[in-house]
């Protein structure tokens, strides 16, 4: 299926590995120009090279997404590198706050929520001039169901889901669609669930056994949904949160 994305200019914030990198690769495979950012230069360059192998325009820049000034610098640079515009913004970054303490709350609110707010704000002047403009925010199933193990992360993702609806209502008349993806537990090399498989097998197996599909997800499975929802094929869809989780949370 031709999703009609060829030539679109896409920013994926937080894309050096896992879901973010898979999203960037999926857009590049559709013929989009792509800009990615992350804090770690080494992983970012490896991701850039992998995306570049698909052909097309690829821009990468280190950016601390907890820093308002860094975001304000990165977004215009990304637009310039892609010919002066942005058509699609994917807010994917996470601060990784996993405990119920002050540093975790600061990390989750500062990145999961505020990087979404700030990235959207900086990209808005470009999106207003974009082609079939869309914002996709990456939340989590932890933002929908109680997050006993990671209260700060879950609350921040719940805020992203609510903010998505507000953005969608605010930007609809500007022709900008805003939707949200809430992934379930996704496993990839170097990710938290791969580590838990070794370090906390009891937790890993408890989560695994609660997923009706019988396995954890893959980054590519999230990316395919993101690309479709961002495409003109879903051009009457806005203000929605799509759970992509193999039935996780619905019993087995």
pTM, entire model: 0.96
Any domain includes 87 = yes
Any domain includes 55 = yes
Q: Check the CA dihedral 95-76-91-175 and report its sign.
A: positive
Q: Of 96-105, 116-125, 203-212, which gets the smallest average pLDDT?
A: 96-105
Range of the domain at 212: 9-244
Any domain includes 4 = no
Any domain includes 45 = yes
SS (H, E, C) 94-105: CCCCCCCCHHHH
Any domain includes 190 = yes
Any domain includes 250 = no
User: Which one from 74, 153, 163, 204 is the annotated catalytic residue?
Assistant: 153
Is 153 marked active-site?
A: yes
133-177 residue pLDDT tens: 999 999 999 999 988 888 999 999 999 999 999 999 999 999 999
Any domain includes 94 = yes
Any domain includes 111 = yes
Q: Is the confidence at residue 22, as pLDDT, over 70?
A: yes
Q: Look at the chain and report how many structural domains it folds into.
A: 1
77-114 residue pLDDT tens: 999 999 999 999 999 999 987 788 999 999 999 999 99
What's 114's domain CATH number? Answer: 3.40.50.720
């Amino acid at each position: 299926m031709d999703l009609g994305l060829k030539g679109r200019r896409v920013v994926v914030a937080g894309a050096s590995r896992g879901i973010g990198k898979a999203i960037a690769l999926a857009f590049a495979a559709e013929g989009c120009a792509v800009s990615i950012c992350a804090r770690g230069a080494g992983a970012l360059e490896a991701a850039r090279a992998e995306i570049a192998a698909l052909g097309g325009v690829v821009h990468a820049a280190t950016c601390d997404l907890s820093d308002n000034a860094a975001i304000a610098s990165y977004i215009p640079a990304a637009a310039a590198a892609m010919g002066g515009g942005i058509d699609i913004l994917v807010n994917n970054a996470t601060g990784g706050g996993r405990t119920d303490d002050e540093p975790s709350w600061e990390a989750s609110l500062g990145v999961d929520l505020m990087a979404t707010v700030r990235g959207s704000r900086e990209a808005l002047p470009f999106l207003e001039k974009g082609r079939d403009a869309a914002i996709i925010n990456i939340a989590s199933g932890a933002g929908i169901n109680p997050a006993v193990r990671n209260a700060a992360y879950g609350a921040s993702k719940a805020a992203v889901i609510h903010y998505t609806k507000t953005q969608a209502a605010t930007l609809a008349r500007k022709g900008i669609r805003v939707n949200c993806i809430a992934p379930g537990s996704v496993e990839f090399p170097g990710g938290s669930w791969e580590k838990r498989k070794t370090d906390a097998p009891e937790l890993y197996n408890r989560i695994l056994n609660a997923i009706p599909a019988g396995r954890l997800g893959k980054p590519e499975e999230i990316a395919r949904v993101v690309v479709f929802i961002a495409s003109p094929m879903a051009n009457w869809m806005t203000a929605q949160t799509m759970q992509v989780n193999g039935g996780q949370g619905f019993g087995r």
